């Protein structure tokens, strides 16, 4: 496939998608309604999903899905690196989420955002240089485990948040480096 989204669109629940290069892909990825989909970088590769030319949900949006696994990929640009919406049993491991922006009209700029998601594990990711918050756990998000990540230089002119939990979000946060 020329675009990663084309591979996601063609995939069925339970499929494995391996990105076999370290290219930069200028696109927004959407996993919607596909359970147990796995999206990983091949060994030794470090692909980048760059959404800097647009300002939508973010470089990767996982919604209405469960059991999705994403590993070894860099996400940048847009308002969010990765967002989970009404998703469950999600694993995000060994990824980098960086340089997401905040605008004057929207308070975003999150490396990762959870909205109504449950049982999400963020493990061994690097979340850095986002203009507002590294990890934002929003309303109705439960059982979000944030473990062994590096969260650095995530700030705006108004505040500095490595991790922000709001409006009834529930998280376990441990063994991270936050600076």
Q: Would you say 127 and 111 are in contact if contact means Cβ atoms under 8 Å apart?
A: yes
Q: Which two tokens stand for residue 41?
A: 């970088």
pLDDT digits 0-9 by tens, 49-95: 999 766 667 899 999 999 999 999 999 988 889 999 999 999 999 99
Sign, CA torsion 121/126/131/134: positive
Q: Which helix (H) or strand (E) holds 83?
A: strand 80-85
Q: Would you say 143 and 120 are in contact if contact means Cβ atoms under 8 Å apart?
A: yes
pLDDT digits 0-9 by tens, 115-157: 999 999 999 999 999 988 999 999 889 999 999 999 999 987 6
Q: What are phi and psi of 61, to 5 degrees?
A: -120, 125
Q: Which two tokens stand for residue 135?
A: 């990890």
What's the pTM value of the predicted model, to 2 decimals?
0.94
Of 116, 118, 151, residue with least CA distance to 132: 151
């Amino acid at each position: 496939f020329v675009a990663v989204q084309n591979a996601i669109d063609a995939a069925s629940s339970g499929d494995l998608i391996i990105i076999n290069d370290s290219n930069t892909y200028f696109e927004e990825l959407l996993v919607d309604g596909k359970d147990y989909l796995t999206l990983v970088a091949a060994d030794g590769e470090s692909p980048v999903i760059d959404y800097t030319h647009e300002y939508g949900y973010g470089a990767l949006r996982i919604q209405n899905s469960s059991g999705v696994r994403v590993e070894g990929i860099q996400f940048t640009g847009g308002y969010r690196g990765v967002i989970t919406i009404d998703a469950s049993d999600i694993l995000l491991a060994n990824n980098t989420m960086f340089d997401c922006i905040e605008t004057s009209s929207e308070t975003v700029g999150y490396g990762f955002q959870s909205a109504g998601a449950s049982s999400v594990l963020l493990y061994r990711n690097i979340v850095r240089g986002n203009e507002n918050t590294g990890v934002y756990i929003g309303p109705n998000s439960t059982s979000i485990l944030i473990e062994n990540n590096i969260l650095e230089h995530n700030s705006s002119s108004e505040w500095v948040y490595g991790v922000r939990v709001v409006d009834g979000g529930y998280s376990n946060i441990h063994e991270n480096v936050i600076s």
